[in-house]
């Protein structure tokens, strides 16, 4: 019996929607769960899936036409079946709806035979991609040369945050106990135990991922994958073939080629995470996110840290005003920061190292028991057959289109190895988008919603556009800021340090960027990312009720400030 495809209700307040695109023509076969029509509101677009197998018998709402929720957009039935007049609303069979992300339509590719996908690299890009592809019905093989979880789980995000948890807990007790009336004596850090704690978290998570891969039926091959052609990967003596290949080979630290770069005490981020003792002094070459996080971590444990950065400012990806606040706070914690400082050589001087540099035009040296070289990462694309397979690289990074497909059809590259954005969650989201493209031909990546986080004391997080970008692009905007000294929870937890900045389109008040420096910033940024995804306005932000007392309330206050109306901040003097 024929069933109707009806306009779904995509949100509590939605009363009508518009057909933006039919993904099938009248007469096309459709399978249960397959995306048939895309609908949109002024906030969101979504794919409506077929409720059962059949053919698309009739289109009743053309592209561009709008209709109320539950109105009939088309009819699915068996070939040759007569279409009855549209039934009354209560007898309409609601179609199933794919997830909020347009293009996610499970099973599409499996209708005409199972798709097979080979994924090279099991970091947060590769393993998430493998699980998603398996969920969508593909036959998946995952190849990993080292440990499942990649940089992120083994020598990146997770171990650094475990040690940062140790250092920030230590410094919170040290800095705040007297003020809070807590008496502490004999406080110290047992670094070996801290390292054990880090190791146990990593082990738990790696084991969890291995279990998930198994539970999803992903075949894992251990060894280095070499690309042979658009459908073939060689792993040791095994030759694996599939319809598509997704490269997720990640990145590794680089060293600047200067005399002394290979001395034993000159280490990278992986070496720093494996230190068996807390160094007394540390010279950190590179004032990017990783270098600054390590400086904050070790400074809290009592290490004398010096950051040496070649550019005029640290943390270039972050809002300039917040960067200035962060720099002042790091310096107040005793971290020396040298910008416009170009390192020229390193020499060993007994048990310590001397770093020679050109600091703002003058020769200068700084000493450290260890030197962390933290100047960037390069894609791990060498020697794995990419050039031989005709894949275009740009300075070692795999060049892709917006679907993360390389110039060789059927070969995709996601995560650090394409160099678009070296963040774990970006790698995972790109992998899911690549799988969607393979399985449904459609896209699901929203780059503007990818947040950046820095785990300092307090934290930094941002999403969307920066003020500098809006100015460069000539976009008229309004800016609302709220100092966390006016927020009760931030005052209780972190002395009211920090601020929230919201950037909104000047005409419609659409939120374009959110920048937070304060406690819980890295969790709060999720609300801002959703606001950007849903194209929320300042008005929608301020009319949302924020729980009290929370740091989140300050998001509402910063949104109020866009039009000069913060409740807990005095008005600007006219």
Min CB(425)–ligand FAD separation in Å: 5
> Using CA atoms, how far apart are residues 129 and 432, in angstroms rounded to an integer?
5
**Interface region with ligand FAD, contact rule CB under 6 A, candidates 155-163, 165-173, 212-220, 314-322:** 155-163
258 strand-pairing partners: none
Please give the DSSP secondary-structure letter assigned to residue 350: T
- The only residue of 7, 57, 157, 432 in contact with ligand FAD, by rule CB under 6 A: 157
365 strand-pairing partners: 356
> Using CA atoms, how far apart are residues 437 and 511, in angstroms rounded to an integer?
29
Contact status: 380 vs ligand FAD (CB under 6 A): yes
Contact status: 285 vs ligand FAD (CB under 6 A): no
Contact status: 152 vs ligand FAD (CB under 6 A): yes
- The only residue of 77, 103, 126, 518 in contact with ligand FAD, by rule CB under 6 A: 126
**Interface region with ligand FAD, contact rule CB under 6 A, candidates 413-421, 435-443, 460-468, 554-562:** 413-421
> Using CA atoms, how far apart are residues 277 and 299, in angstroms rounded to an integer?
14
Q: Is 356 a catalytic residue?
A: no
What are the backbone dihedrals phi and psi of residue 500, each rounded to the nearest 5 degrees, phi first? -125, 135
Contact status: 295 vs ligand FAD (CB under 6 A): no
Min CB(215)–ligand FAD separation in Å: 20
227 strand-pairing partners: 233
- Which 472-501 positions form the footprint of ligand FAD (CB under 6 A)? none
Sign of the CA dihedral 429, 431, 436, 442? positive
- The only residue of 6, 98, 160, 303 in contact with ligand FAD, by rule CB under 6 A: 160
Q: Which residues contact 171 (CB under 8 A, 6 or more apart)?
A: 300, 457
Size of residue set near ligand FAD by CB under 6 A: 35
**Interface region with ligand FAD, contact rule CB under 6 A, candidates 21-29, 150-158, 303-311, 503-511:** 150-158
- Is residue 414 exposed (0-12), middle (13-18) or buried (19+ Cβ within 10 Å)? buried
**Total residue length of the chain:** 574
Contact status: 206 vs ligand FAD (CB under 6 A): no
Contact status: 391 vs ligand FAD (CB under 6 A): no
Give the CB-side neighbour count of residue 94, counting CA atoms within 13 A: 10
Contact status: 291 vs ligand FAD (CB under 6 A): no
Strand order in the sheet with 35-40: 45-49, 35-40, 16-22, 66-68
- Is residue 62 exposed (0-12), middle (13-18) or buried (19+ Cβ within 10 Å)? exposed
- Which 236-265 positions form the footprint of ligand FAD (CB under 6 A)? 248-251
Given 356, 425, 515, 548, the catalytic residue: 548
- Which 419-458 positions form the footprint of ligand FAD (CB under 6 A)? 422-425, 427
3-state secondary structure of 84: coil
Min CB(433)–ligand FAD separation in Å: 13
The binding site for ligand FAD (CB under 6 A) comprises 120-126, 143-146, 150-152, 156-157, 160, 224-225, 248-251, 269, 290, 380, 384, 415-417, 422-425, 427
Catalytic residue positions, numbered: 548
């Amino acid at each position: 019996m024929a069933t109707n495809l009806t306009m779904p209700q995509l949100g509590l307040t939605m009363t009508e929607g518009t057909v933006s695109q039919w993904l099938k023509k009248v007469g096309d076969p459709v399978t249960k769960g397959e995306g048939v029509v895309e609908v949109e509101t002024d906030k969101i677009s979504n794919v409506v899936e077929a409720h059962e197998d059949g053919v698309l018998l009739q289109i009743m709402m053309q592209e561009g036409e709008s209709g109320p929720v539950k109105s009939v957009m088309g009819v699915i039935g068996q070939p040759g079946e007569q279409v009855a007049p549209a039934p009354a609303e209560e007898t309409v069979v609601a179609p199933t709806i794919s997830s909020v992300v347009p293009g996610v339509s499970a099973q599409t590719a499996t209708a005409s035979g199972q798709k097979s996908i080979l994924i090279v690299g099991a970091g947060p890009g590769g393993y998430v991609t493998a699980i998603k592809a398996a969920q969508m019905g593909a036959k998946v093989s995952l190849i990993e040369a080292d440990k499942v979880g990649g940089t992120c789980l083994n020598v990146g995000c997770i171990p650094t945050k475990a040690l940062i948890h140790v250092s920030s807990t230590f410094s919170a007790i040290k800095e705040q106990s007297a003020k809070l009336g807590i008496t502490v004596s004999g406080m110290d850090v047992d670094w070996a135990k801290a390292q054990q704690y880090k190791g146990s978290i990593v082990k738990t998570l790696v084991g969890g991922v291995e279990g998930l891969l198994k539970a999803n039926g992903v075949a894992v091959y251990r060894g280095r994958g070499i690309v042979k052609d658009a459908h073939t990967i060689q792993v040791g003596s095994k030759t694996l073939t599939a319809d598509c290949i997704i490269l997720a080979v990640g990145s590794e630290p680089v060293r600047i080629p200067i005399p002394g770069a290979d001395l034993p005490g000159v280490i990278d981020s992986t070496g720093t995470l494996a230190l068996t003792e807390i160094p007394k002094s540390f010279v950190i070459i590179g004032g990017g996110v990783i270098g600054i996080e390590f400086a904050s971590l070790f400074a809290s444990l009592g290490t004398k840290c010096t950051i040496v950065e070649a550019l005029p400012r640290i943390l270039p990806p972050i809002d300039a005003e917040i960067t200035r606040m962060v720099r002042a706070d790091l310096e107040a914690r005793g971290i020396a920061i040298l910008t416009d400082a170009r390192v020229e050589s390193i020499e060993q001087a007994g048990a310590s190292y001397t770093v020679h540099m050109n600091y703002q035009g003058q020769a200068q040296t700084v000493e450290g028991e260890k030197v962390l070289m933290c100047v960037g990462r390069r894609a791990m694309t060498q020697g794995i057959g990419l050039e031989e397979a005709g894949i275009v690289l740009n300075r070692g990074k795999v060049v892709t289109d917006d679907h993360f497909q390389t110039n060789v059809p059927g070969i995709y590259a996601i995560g650090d190895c394409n160099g678009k954005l070296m963040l774990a969650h970006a790698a995972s989201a790109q992998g899911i988008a690549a799988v969607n493209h393979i399985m449904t031909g459609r896209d699901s990546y929203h780059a503007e919603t990818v947040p950046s986080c820095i785990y300092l004391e307090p934290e930094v997080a941002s999403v969307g556009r920066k003020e500098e970008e809006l100015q460069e692009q000539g976009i008229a905007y309004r800016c609302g800021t709220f100092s966390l000294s006016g927020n009760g929870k931030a005052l209780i937890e972190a002395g009211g340090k920090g601020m929230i900045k919201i950037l909104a389109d000047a005409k419609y008040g659409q939120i374009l960027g959110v920048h937070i420096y304060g406690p819980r910033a890295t969790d709060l940024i999720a609300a801002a990312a959703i606001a950007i995804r849903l194209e929320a306005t300042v008005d929608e932000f301020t009319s949302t009720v924020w729980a009290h007392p929370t740091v989140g309330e300050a998001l509402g206050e910063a949104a109020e400030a866009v039009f000069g109306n913060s409740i807990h901040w005095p008005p600007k003097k006219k």
